[in-house]
């Protein structure tokens, strides 16, 4: 069966497994009035009290003092007067169709059907954690494309998604399949070598639904036989990738640990550097000149050190990368490199995404507002969605979360979201619990 067929069958099964009624439209006929205790303006840090957010359909149509916004006939009210209301969070580096399982046998026995079902599970967990938009950067068999489409159709609970399909990489590199010996002749779906081949692969991924192009500019950690510090694609190959992607309206995210690969990818014009572990002064300078975003994926280091059980051929690479990644991220932030929140969720369990903000604030030294901005206005800008989400403004999607407390005083509160709305639809409401 195709992945699309599997997802459709799973959708039909949802009522049988107790997932029916996963969300409710706030008010399909009239306005919805969110009565907020405080509304956080993530651009300025102001927290206006006693405000009402007016929602019509999937969009915000007004934000005004509650005292001047009476309920009209046909309106629905949602009482969030005890909460701080803010825009839904955004994670620009997820792997929603993947699970936190590093056993090579698990990887080798993965099927499109299993990956699709894992994606359904994780999409629900992610939106209930307050992440109303994500960028999924790497999935097998275009399962993330099918998942995005089923979420958009309203069949499955989940965030807005930009998806990449299979990540592009070189033969034997981080994005190849390196676990099996030569007699099996297994090649990763995104493998392409040479300028003509990478151009074809970009076009292939776009043909089958990719919103963003993900490439592996260097080696990685959770892959066998490659070196995270070694560049993989040449500068010329990356120039060709970016040229085709940008011409066809897609941004490019580059997995890049090593300094040379970071520099080449930045000079080639990629839109974001993912991880950036061995980022040096030359790379920082180039990223600032090009306006390239850094996506640090930092909390995974803490989680893996506490909970991870990696095969031996991954373990030393994780130790080496973990020893340098945070200090280089701090250096880049102090130098003024733009940062967007990305987690690499799947390396640690989905739903813990907001822990990333805590790292930025309490380990990297960002202000609470700057940390929140990485997962709102900055992330929306990287995705090219600033006109749709990332802040609470008239005309944007009604992507809204509520926090019991002030996240500007304690960003850890973002880890306990009480209310989630996406495009005017309520996906989680624990505000009435005592």
Q: Dump pLDDT digits (tens) for 52-107.
A: 999 999 999 999 999 999 999 999 999 999 999 999 999 999 999 999 998 999 98
pLDDT reported for residue 46:
98
Look up 271 and say whether it is catalytic.
no
Cα 255 vs. chain centroid, distance in angstroms?
14
- The one catalytic residue among 91, 141, 176, 344: 344
CB 43 within 8 A of CB 391: yes
- Give percent above pLDDT 90 in the chain: 86
Calculate mean pLDDT across residues 195-201. Answer: 98
Alpha-carbon gap, residue 359 to 357, rounded angstroms:
5
How far lies 21's CA from each of 132, 160, 270, 283, in Å?
18, 19, 40, 48
Residues ≥6 apart with Cβ < 8 Å to 103: 311
Domains recognised in the chain with CATH numbers: 24-88+391-429 (2.30.40.10), 89-383 (3.20.20.140)
How does the average pLDDT of the chain come out, rounded?
93
- Quick one: three-class SS letters along the chain? CCHHHHHHHHHHHHHHHCCCCCCEECCCCCEEEEEEEEEECCCCCCEEEEEEEEEECCEEEEEEEHHHCCCCCCCEEEEEEEEEEEECEEEEEECCCCCCCCCHHHHHCCCHHHHHHHHHHHHHHHHHCCEEEEEECCCHHHHHHHHHHHHHCCCCCCCEEEECCCCEECCCCCCCCCCCCHHHCCCCCCECCCHHHHHHHHHHHHHCCCCEEEEECECCCCCCCCCCCCECCCHHHHHHHHHHHHHCCCEEEEEECCHHHHHHHHHHCCCEEEECCCCCHHHHHHHHHHCCEEECCCHHHHHHHHHCCCCHHHHHHHHHHHCCHHHHHHHHHHHCCCECCCCCECCCCCCCCCHHHHHHHHCCCCCHHHHHHHCCHHHHHHHCCCCCCCCCCCCCECCEEEECCCCCCCHHHHHCEEEEEECCEEEEECCCCC
Alpha-carbon gap, residue 176 to 164, rounded angstroms:
16
Residues ≥6 apart with Cβ < 8 Å to 131: 88, 89, 90, 91, 159, 353, 354
CB 106 within 8 A of CB 114: no
Beta-bridge mates of residue 397: 59
Beta-bridge mates of residue 401: 86, 420
Calculate mean pLDDT across residues 362-374. Answer: 98
Look up 144 and say whether it is catalytic.
no
- Band (20; pLDDT cuts 50, 70, 90): very low
Q: Dump pLDDT digits (tens) for 261-320.
A: 999 999 999 999 999 999 999 999 999 999 999 999 999 999 999 997 888 889 899 999
- The one catalytic residue among 141, 201, 211, 214: 214
- Band (433; pLDDT cuts 50, 70, 90): confident
* CB burial of residue 203 (10 Å; 0-12, 13-18, 19+): middle
Q: How many CB atoms lie within 10 A of CB 103?
A: 11
Q: b/e map of 380-402 (b: 16 or more CB within 10 Å)?
A: bbbbebbebbbbbeeebbbbbbb
Residues ≥6 apart with Cβ < 8 Å to 60: 53, 54, 392, 393, 394, 395, 396, 397, 398
Task: State yes or no: pLDDT of 17 exceeds 60.
Answer: no
Q: How many Å from the N-terminal Cα to the C-terminal Cα in the chain? A: 46
pLDDT reported for residue 213:
98
- Which value, to the nearest 10 degrees, does the dihedral of the CA atoms of residues 230, 233, 236, 237 take? 180
CB 129 within 8 A of CB 354: yes
Give which of 95, 165, 89 is closest to 131, Cα–Cα.
89
Q: Dump pLDDT digits (tens) for 167-186.
A: 999 999 999 998 889 998 88
pLDDT reported for residue 15:
45
CA quadruple 200, 276, 412, 351: dihedral sign: positive
Dihedral pair phi/psi, residue 377, rounded to 5° = -65, -40
Calculate mean pLDDT across residues 126-152. Answer: 98
- Band (1; pLDDT cuts 50, 70, 90): low
Alpha-carbon gap, residue 430 to 164, rounded angstroms:
33
pLDDT reported for residue 311:
87
- In this structure, of 145-149, 251-255, 362-366, 430-434, the range with the lowest mean pLDDT score is 430-434
Give which of 221, 414, 219 is closest to 308, Cα–Cα.
221
Please tell me the pTM assigned to this model: 0.94
Question: Which of residues 294 and 433 earns the better pLDDT score?
Answer: 294
Half-sphere exposure of 381 (CA within 13 A, CB side): 17
């Amino acid at each position: 069966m195709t992945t699309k067929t599997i997802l459709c069958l799973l959708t039909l099964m949802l009522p049988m497994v107790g997932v029916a009624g996963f969300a409710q439209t706030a008010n399909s006929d009239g306005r919805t009035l969110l009565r907020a205790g405080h509304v956080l303006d993530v651009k300025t840090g102001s927290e206006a009290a006693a405000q009402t957010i007016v929602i019509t359909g999937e969009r915000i149509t007004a934000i005004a003092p509650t005292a001047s916004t009476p309920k009209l006939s046909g309106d629905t009210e949602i009482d969030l007067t005890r909460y701080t209301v803010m825009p839904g969070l955004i994670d620009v580096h997820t792997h929603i169709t993947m699970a936190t399982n590093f056993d090579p046998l698990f990887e080798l026995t993965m099927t499109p059907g299993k990956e699709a079902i894992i994606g359904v599970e994780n999409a629900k967990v992610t939106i209930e954690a307050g992440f109303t938009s994500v960028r999924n950067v790497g999935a097998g068999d275009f399962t993330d494309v099918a998942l995005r489409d089923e979420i958009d159709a309203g069949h499955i609970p989940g965030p807005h998604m930009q998806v990449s399909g299979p990540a592009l990489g070189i033969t034997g590199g981080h994005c190849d399949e390196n676990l099996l010996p030569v007699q099996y002749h297994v090649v990763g779906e995104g493998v392409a070598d040479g300028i003509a081949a990478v151009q074809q692969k970009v076009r292939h991924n776009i043909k089958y639904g990719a919103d963003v192009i993900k490439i592996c500019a260097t080696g990685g950690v959770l892959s066998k036989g490659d070196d995270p510090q070694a560049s993989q694609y040449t500068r010329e190959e990356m120039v060709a990738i970016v040229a085709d992607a940008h011409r066809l309206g897609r941004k490019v995210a580059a997995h890049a640990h090593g300094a040379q690969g970071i520099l080449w990818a930045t000079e080639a014009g990629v839109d974001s550097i993912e991880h950036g572990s061995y980022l040096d002064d030359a790379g920082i300078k180039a990223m600032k000149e090009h306006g390239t975003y850094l996506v640090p994926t930092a909390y995974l280091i803490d989680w893996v050190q506490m909970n991870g059980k990696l095969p031996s051929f991954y373990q030393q690479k994780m130790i080496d990368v973990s020893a340098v990644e945070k200090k280089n991220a701090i250096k880049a932030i102090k130098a003024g490199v733009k940062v967007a929140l990305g987690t690499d969720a799947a390396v640690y369990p989905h739903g813990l995404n907001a822990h990333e903000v805590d790292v930025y604030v309490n380990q990297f030294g960002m202000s609470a507002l700057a940390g929140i901005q990485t997962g709102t206005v900055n992330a929306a800008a990287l995705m090219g969605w600033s006109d749709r989400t990332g802040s609470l403004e008239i005309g944007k999607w009604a992507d809204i979360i509520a926090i019991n407390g002030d996240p500007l005083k304690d960003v850890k509160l973002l880890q306990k979201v009480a209310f989630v709305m996406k495009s005017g639809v309520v996906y989680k409401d624990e505000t009435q619990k005592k």
